[in-house]
Amino acid sequence: MEEIVKAETYKGLYGMHKYWGKKPFNVICEFIKKYSKEGDIVLDSFCGSGITLIEALKLNRRAVGFDLNPIAIMLTKASLKRVDIKILKKEFEEIKKELEPLINSLYETTCEKCGGIAYETHVIWNKGEPQEVWYKCDNCKLKKVIRKGNDYDKEQCENPRIKPLWYPTTAMFENSRLNVREGQTVADLFTNRAIVALSYLLDRIKRVKDPIIKETFEITFTGALSQASKLVFVIRRRNKNSTSGKEETGRAEVGSWVVGYWIPEEHFEINVWNCFENRFKKILKGKEDVNKTFSKEIAFYDEFNSLKYSKSGALILNASATDIDIPDNSIDYVFIDPPHGNRILYMEMSLMWNSWLGLEFNCDWENEIVVSEAKYRNKNVDSYSKMMNLALLEIKRVLKYGCYFSLAFNSLDDETWLEMLNMCIGTGFNVVDISPLGYSANSVVQDNRKNALKTDFVITCKKILNQKQKE
Ligand SMILES: C[S@@+](CC[C@H](N)C(=O)[O-])C[C@H]1O[C@@H](n2cnc3c(N)ncnc32)[C@H](O)[C@@H]1O
Ligand SMILES: [Zn+2]
């Protein structure tokens, strides 16, 4: 790509839910424009949160997407489905009316100013003890009062007075890199009180009748999970007027979910209702953006032929890139951004989301293309290369002759990068272009000089008839 487009940040429909490895949408859009035309069928067989498909549909292409991770498919579809904002808001108000008081009752405390009932918004736990409590008092119109934690706070959190409804007790894969120890379950990522609140919230969401509204609340729920968990670390800024020169405990700020399932010794516990309401605000903005972006309802098909014989629409399935149910020579352009070795363990990292929605039963752990240190998973460099190769062969098979295939890849070590390039060539593709993805030309030059590839690259290949076939 001669002109390098600057990556834009994720907001609106791209900012509804976290997913790892999202690629800059405006850059992908340029690739789709360059290598396909209106009406064409664009495939991303590692679609993740769906950026390629969203861009393709925005550009009046038809879209086909696969991902092995069930939540990825759900998020992709959620970014494409229009929703009636009025009904969505109304349902939210009803959920709020029913559940805010119940959830808040789990966080009750006494206001030190007026003696009335107040509600904890945050508790900072340190080595299992409530160190600091933040609460709000509507009576005194105070949004944040800070006091020390006490035994009662501990009791209230550890033995909540309401019993939980259903919640996931799914076992996680032991993996020291992700800080998952032997025997750990998804429930261990939350305080007992958060489990109660979340279980009630989920139960209520399951009873929403309209399927699209229900799905919208399900992703609001999963989107809120990390902030509602024990994975939120405490940011301590150094006190400005510190004279001792030593690190001092400064004001605490709320961090977020960073890497793996690391539960910091000092972590926040945030009122579950607040987490849900804050996430809903983002989802609402996202859905307004979806309605604006796609003025017409997108048709979703469940098999390729129906899409092939219609002018528009999408086929988006929870399936493996290594075994695509599409006839030979039927795709006009492919853009993929596959997993990069052991960089991100997508399915292990999504287990927290998938398990709450009961989607872990749809997780095809065996077919995931990834390098993982998890015990019992047997995901090594070898199996990664083999399966990646299968996925590339499938792409080659379904792509039409004379059409293009782009692959985004980021690798800090040149070897992996070369291997990927060789794999493309080995599959029989002709490499026609290699461009950096979404950064300024300068930074690429600098990277090259240091002999390290620090940015994302896009390899574009063409499917051509080989000599034998030509003859
Ligand atoms: C780098 S991410 C894609 C991110 C995507 N570009 C986005 O916009 O969100 C790679 C994806 O490959 C998926 N994946 C891993 N193995 C797969 C397989 N065998 N078939 C399909 N998808 C797979 C992972 O679940 C993950 O979502
Ligand atoms: Zn008060």
The whole-number pLDDT of residue 331 equals 98
Q: How confident is the model at residue 2 (pLDDT cuts 50, 70, 90)?
A: very low
Distance of alpha carbon 453 from alpha carbon 4, whole angstroms: 17
Q: Is 48 in the pocket of ligand 1 (CB under 6 A)?
A: yes
**Ligand of minimum distance to the alpha carbon of 109:** 2
> Mean per-residue pLDDT for 252-271?
91
The whole-number pLDDT of residue 326 equals 98
Q: Is 368 in the pocket of ligand 1 (CB under 6 A)?
A: yes
Minimum CA distance residue for ligand 1 atom 22: 67
The whole-number pLDDT of residue 343 equals 86
The whole-number pLDDT of residue 416 equals 77
| Lowest mean pLDDT, pick from 86-100, 207-221, 455-469 | 455-469
Q: How far is the CA of 320 from the centre of ligand 1 (A)?
A: 9
> Mean per-residue pLDDT for 259-284?
95
**Ligand of minimum distance to the alpha carbon of 141:** 2
The whole-number pLDDT of residue 468 equals 60
Work out the percent of the chain whose per-residue pLDDT is above 90.
79
Work out the percent of the chain whose per-residue pLDDT is above 70.
90
Q: How confident is the model at residue 446 (pLDDT cuts 50, 70, 90)?
A: very low
> Mean per-residue pLDDT for 121-136?
97
The whole-number pLDDT of residue 453 equals 43
Q: Is 367 in the pocket of ligand 1 (CB under 6 A)?
A: yes
Q: How far is CA 290 from the centre of its chain?
A: 17
Q: Is 339 in the pocket of ligand 1 (CB under 6 A)?
A: yes
More confident residue, 21 or 408: 408
The whole-number pLDDT of residue 360 equals 93
CA-closest candidate to residue 392, choices 378, 406, 412: 406
| Lowest mean pLDDT, pick from 61-65, 156-160, 360-364, 461-465 | 461-465
User: With 80 as the cut, is the pLDDT of residue 18 above it?
Assistant: yes
The whole-number pLDDT of residue 452 equals 39
Atom of ligand 1 nearest to the CA of 368: 16
Reading the block at residue 223, the tokens are 């989107």
Distance of alpha carbon 397 from alpha carbon 298, whole angstroms: 27
Tell me the residue type at 415.
E
Q: Is 21 in the pocket of ligand 1 (CB under 6 A)?
A: yes
Distance of alpha carbon 212 from alpha carbon 228, whole angstroms: 24
> Per-residue pLDDT tens for 21-40?
888 888 899 999 999 999 99
The whole-number pLDDT of residue 257 equals 84
Q: How far is the CA of 142 from the centre of ligand 2 (A)?
A: 7
> Mean per-residue pLDDT for 63-71?
98
Minimum CA distance residue for ligand 1 atom 5: 48
The whole-number pLDDT of residue 445 equals 35
Of 310-319, 341-350, 434-443, highest mean pLDDT: 310-319
Structural contact between residues 8 and 51, judged by C-beta atoms closer than 8 angstroms: no
Of 231-235, 351-355, 405-409, highest mean pLDDT: 351-355
Q: Is 23 in the pocket of ligand 1 (CB under 6 A)?
A: yes
> Per-residue pLDDT tens for 368-400?
999 999 988 999 999 999 999 999 999 999 999
The whole-number pLDDT of residue 255 equals 87
Q: Give the three-state DSSP class for 44.
A: strand
Q: Is 136 in the pocket of ligand 1 (CB under 6 A)?
A: no
In the 3-class helix/strand/coil scheme, how is 125-181 assigned residue by residue? EECCEEEEEEEEECCCCEEEEEEECCHHHHHHHHCCCCCCCCCCCCECCCEHHHCEC
User: With 50 as the cut, is the pLDDT of residue 236 above it?
Assistant: yes
More confident residue, 446 or 389: 389
> Mean per-residue pLDDT for 292-310?
97
> Mean per-residue pLDDT for 196-203?
98
> Per-residue pLDDT tens for 138-180?
999 999 999 999 999 999 999 999 999 999 999 999 999 999 9
> Per-residue pLDDT tens for 94-119?
999 999 999 999 999 999 999 999 99
Kindly give, in sequence order, each residue whose CB lies less than 8 Å from that of residue 392, ignoring residues fewer than 6 positions away: 423, 424, 427, 429
Minimum CA distance residue for ligand 1 atom 25: 69
Domain boundaries, the chain: 12-80+294-470, 85-106+160-284
The whole-number pLDDT of residue 342 equals 86
> Mean per-residue pLDDT for 344-348?
95
Atom of ligand 1 nearest to the CA of 19: 9
Q: Which of 42, 64, 67 to mutate to test the pocket of ligand 1 (most atoms within 8 A of CB)?
A: 67
Specify whether domain 12-80+294-470 bears CATH 3.40.50.150: yes
The whole-number pLDDT of residue 4 equals 46
> Mean per-residue pLDDT for 195-215?
98
The whole-number pLDDT of residue 447 equals 40
Minimum CA distance residue for ligand 1 atom 12: 46
**Residue labelled with tokens 């493996």:** 320
